[in-house]
Chain A
Amino acid sequence: MTILGKDLIGLAGLTREQITGILDVAEPLKEISERAIKKVPTLRGMTVVNLFFEASTRTRISFEFAEKRMSADTVNIAATTSSVSKGETLVDTARNLEAMRIDMVVIRHPNSGAARFLAERIESNVINAGDGTHEHPTQGLLDLLTLRDKLGAIEGKRICICGDVLHSRVARSNIWGLKALGAQVAVCGPRSLLPNAIREMGVEVFDRIEAAIEWADALNILRLQLERMQLGYIPSLREYNRVFGVTRARLEKAPRDLLILHPGPMNRGVEIDSDVADGPHSVILHQVTNGVAVRMAVLYLLAGNKASLADVAKGGPS
C-alpha cells in the first residue's frame, strides 16, 4: 500500500490507515536523532528545497534537520532574499527551481491553497509546511504522534483545541487528523476567533475554558496571534488571559491529569501561563522532538519507499 501519493498538502481526506501508517513509519525514526552520529543515507542524492515565504524558526529547522539526517541536499530559500521580493510569481519561482532539477519542495506560504497550487504545477514532491489558515499537516502529525506516545491510543480520547481556531492551520490539521483516528474533538475560544461553521466540521464548542478543562484528556493550546487584537477580534491580551488563559489554578480543578500541548511559539502569560508550560503535564518539548521524526517519515514516504523501512531504521552513517 502507498501511504502517501506525490504530495502532502493536508490531513483532510487522509484515512485512518494512512495517518497511522505515517506515525508507524515515524516511530522507529525517532531513534536516529538519539544517536551520536545522526545520519542515515536514505535520501542521499536527493535535492530538497525549503521554500519559506513566511518567517519560521521551528518548522524550517525541524525540516532541515530531518532532511540532513536522511542525507538529502537542502537549499533554503526565504522570500525576502529571493526574486519573490522582485515580484516573481509563485508559479515562476517554482518552475525555475524545478528547471534546476530538484526532487522535493517544502513550502511555507501566507496564502491558503499555495501548497496545492504548487503541487499541481510541478513534478517534484510538495510538502505543505503551513499555508495561510488552511493546514499544517506535519504539525498535525507530530501532535498526533505525541498524543499517541502519551495516551497510548487516540481513539475515544477527548482533545480540545484552544484559542484562535479561525486563523489556525494547526487547528484544521489537528481536527482532521484527530477525527480520522477516532478522537472526540472540541474547540474552546472566544466566538470571534472560531469559524462560524465550526460545528459543521464535527467538533464540540466550549465557550468557557473551565468547561473544556473539565471535559478533556488533552488541551492543544494555540498561539494567540498578536495582530488579531489590532483587527478587533478580542479587546485585550489581558482579558484574554483572564478569561481563556490556561493557568495552574484552572488546571488544578481538572478531574483528571491533562496533557498540555502547544505548537509554539508561546506567548507566556497570554494563552498559557509559564507554570503550565513548564509544568509536569506539558509535553511541548516532546512535540518538538517528535517533529523531526514525523518529517523524516514524510520525506521518506514521499521519496517513494525506495529503501525498505527496516533498512532506514538500521542504517548507519553515510
Chain B
Amino acid sequence: MTKPLLLTGGRLVDPTQGLDAVGDLLLVDGKVASVGGRIEGPEGAQTMDCKGLVVSPGMIDVHVHLREPGREDVETVATGAHSAVAGGFTAVAAMPNTKPVTDNQATVGFVKRQGEAAGFARVYPYGAISLGQKGETLAEFGEMVAAGAVAVSDDGKPVENSHLMRTALEYAQTFGIPVVEHCEVMALAHGGSMHEGLVSARLGLKGIPGEAEEIDVMRCILLAKLTGGHIHLCHLSTKGSVDLVKWGKDQGVNVTAEVCSHHISLTDAEVEGYNTNAKMNPPLRTQADVEALQQGLKDGTIDLLVTDHAPHHYDEKEREFADAPNGIVGLETALGVNVTWLLEPGILTLSQLVDRMACLPAKVFHLPGGTLKKGSIADVTVFDPARSWTVDPAQFKSKGRNTPYGGRTLRGRALRTIVGGKIVYELDG
C-alpha cells in the first residue's frame, strides 16, 4: 500500500473545477482525497513541498508511438512510458502501427499488460481501424475495446476508402470511442518529404502541400456530419485545417483535433541543411501556419496538444533526407516547448495549457484522470514553468535521440510525476 501523499503549498491549477490557487493536495489509496486550502495530513503521510511549483492533473498524451511489439530496438512500452513520466505525462495512448499491427484483442492486451508491468505512465492502447492498417477490412473494435483499446486509428496512414471511414465512424458509436484519422491524401503527398514551398523548391525536395491534409480533414468532417460519429483529427499542421475544423464545430459536427508541440513552434526552415531531425509527417510548415495553430489552441478550435512521439534509431536518421524515416521524439521536450512557445508569449494561460495537456485529453478520449476533483485517480504532474533547462538528448529516458530541440534552452520542466498516488518520477530525485 502506498503511503498517503500530501503536496503542500503548490499552485493548484485544475480547469475542470475552475481552480487556480495556492493550496494543498492529499492523495490517499490512489485517489484524490482532498484538494485546496490547508490540509492536515493523516498519520504516516509523506509530505512533498511544492512551494513555487504548479500542481496540475496528470498530463496525458494521446498520440505516441511506443514501437512494441516489433521494434523493441528503438523503443519499448517500458522505455516509452518511462520517457512519458520524465516529461510529466501520467498517461499515454499508444498508436497501433506496431509489427504486427495492433489490430486484434491479443495485441491490444499485450500492449496494455506491458504498460502495467512497466509501472510508469498508464499506457492506453489504440486499436487499428482496419486489419493490418491496409484500409480494406474493419478490425474488431468490440474485442479490442474489451481488451483495453480506447480509440481506433490507422495513424501513419489515412483511411483512403471513404466507405470504410464512414463505416468506422458508424460502428465505433456502439463502443463510444473516437475514430482517429491521420489526414493525408496520399496521391498528393506521394514522394514528398517536407512542406511544399520555397524551402523545398530550393533544396530540391519533393514537397507535401497543406492541401494534402486539408482535403482529408474536410472529408472526415463531412463523414462525421453524415454519421454522427466522433472524428478526432491527428496532428493538424496547417491554417486551412484549423479553419475547416472551426467550420465543422460551428456546424455542430462531433469533431475534435490535436496539434503537436513541434507544429506550434518550428517551421520548414528547420529542414535547411537537410536536417533529418526536422523530418516528420505532417511536415513542419510556415510561420503563418504556426501562428494559426497557436490561435486555434487559444480559441479552442484545436482541443489538445500531443507529441506524436516517434523514436527512431540514430542510424535510420543518419542518411539522405528523402530516405530517412518520419518522426521525432517528443515526450521529454513537450512541456518545455509548450511553455516556451505558448505560455511565455502569453498565447495560452496556465489554465489553458493544463486544459489542453491534461483535462481535455481525458475528456475527448473518455479516460480516467485529467482532473483533481475529489475521488478521481491520483495522477498528478508537478512542474516548474519558470525552470530553464537545455535539451540534452543523451539524457532522454526514451531510446530515441531524434529531436530538433537538442541544444536548445527551454523554459518549463516537470519535477515530479505521480501516477495512482505513487511518485514514479522525480527530477534530480
Chain A residues with CB under 8 Å of chain B are 12, 89-91, 109, 111-114, 116-117, 131-135, 169, 172, 195-198, 200-201
Contact = CB atoms under 8 A, between A and B. Distances in A.
B201 A90 contact: no
A90 B319 contact: yes
B274 interface: yes
B18 interface: no
A112 B206 CA distance: 9
A187 B413 CA distance: 51
B321 A112 contact: yes
Contacts of B392: none
Contacts of B198: 197, 200-201
A196 B274 contact: no
B424 interface: no
B72 interface: no
A91 B318 contact: yes
Nearest to B273: A116
B201 A117 contact: no
Interface in B317-335: 318-323
A113 B199 CA distance: 13
A117 B202 contact: no
Residue of B203, B205, B206, B322 with most partner-chain A CB within 10 A: B203
B320 A114 contact: yes
B197 interface: yes
Contacts of B258: none
B201 A112 contact: no
A196 B322 CA distance: 19
B319 A112 contact: no
A27 B67 CA distance: 58
Given A116-B273, A197-B197, A197-B198, A172 B320 contact: no
B204 interface: yes
Interface string B12-37: 00000000000000000000000000
B318 A172 contact: no
Given A91-B319, A117-B320, A132-B322, 18 more contacts: A89-B319, A90-B319, A91-B318, A109-B320, A111-B322, A112-B204, A113-B322, A116-B273, A117-B321, A132-B204, A133-B205, A134-B205, A172-B204, A195-B201, A196-B207, A197-B201, A198-B201, A201-B198
Contacts of B201: 195-198, 200-201
Interface of B: 196-198, 200-207, 209, 273-274, 315, 318-323
Given A112-B274, A116-B273, A196-B196, A12 B202 contact: yes
Contact of A133 (B204, B315, B319): B204
19 contacts: A109-B320, A111-B322, A112-B205, A112-B321, A113-B205, A113-B274, A113-B320, A116-B273, A116-B274, A132-B205, A133-B205, A169-B204, A195-B200, A196-B196, A196-B197, A196-B207, A197-B197, A198-B201, A200-B201
A113 B323 contact: no
A15 to B, nearest CB: 17
Contact of A111 (B207, B315, B320): B320
Contacts of A169: 204
B196 A113 contact: no
A172 B202 contact: yes
A132 to B, nearest CB: 5
Contacts of A134: 203-205
A112 B196 contact: no
B321 A111 contact: yes
A96 to B, nearest CB: 15
Q: 3 closest A-B pairs (Cβ-Cβ)? A: A134-B204, A113-B274, A133-B204
A131 B273 contact: no
Nearest to A171: B204
A201 B274 contact: no
A91 B273 CA distance: 16
A89 B318 CA distance: 9
Contacts of B205: 112-113, 132-134
A91 B200 CA distance: 23
B132 to A, nearest CB: 26
A112 B323 contact: no
A274 B312 CA distance: 52
A201 B200 CA distance: 11
Nearest to B274: A113
B377 to A, nearest CB: 47
A218 B205 CA distance: 28
A116 B203 CA distance: 11
Contacts of A195: 200-201
Contact of B320 (A90, A197, A201): A90
Contacts of B203: 112-113, 134
A264 B186 CA distance: 33
B206 to A, nearest CB: 8
A117 B318 CA distance: 9
A186 to B, nearest CB: 16
Contacts of B315: 89
A113 B321 contact: yes
Residue of A90, A91, A133 with most partner-chain B CB within 10 A: A133
Given A12-B202, A172-B204, A197-B201, A112 B318 contact: no
A116 B274 CA distance: 8
Contacts of B320: 90, 109, 111-114, 117
B416 to A, nearest CB: 40
A166 to B, nearest CB: 9
Contacts of A113: 203-205, 274, 320-322
A195 B209 CA distance: 12
Residue of B196, B274, B318, B323 with most partner-chain A CB within 10 A: B274
A230 to B, nearest CB: 13
Contacts of B197: 196-197
Residue of B274, B320, B321 with most partner-chain A CB within 10 A: B320
Contacts of A131: 204
Residue of A12, A113, A169, A200 with most partner-chain B CB within 10 A: A113
A114 B274 CA distance: 9
Nearest to A169: B204
Given A112-B322, A196-B196, A135 B204 contact: yes
Residue of A111, A131, A196 with most partner-chain B CB within 10 A: A111
Nearest to B323: A111
B333 to A, nearest CB: 24
Contacts of A116: 273-274
Contacts of B273: 116
Contacts of B196: 196-197
Given A111-B321, A111-B323, A201 B202 contact: yes
Contacts of A117: 274, 319-321
Contacts of B318: 89, 91
B395 to A, nearest CB: 24
A112 B272 CA distance: 12
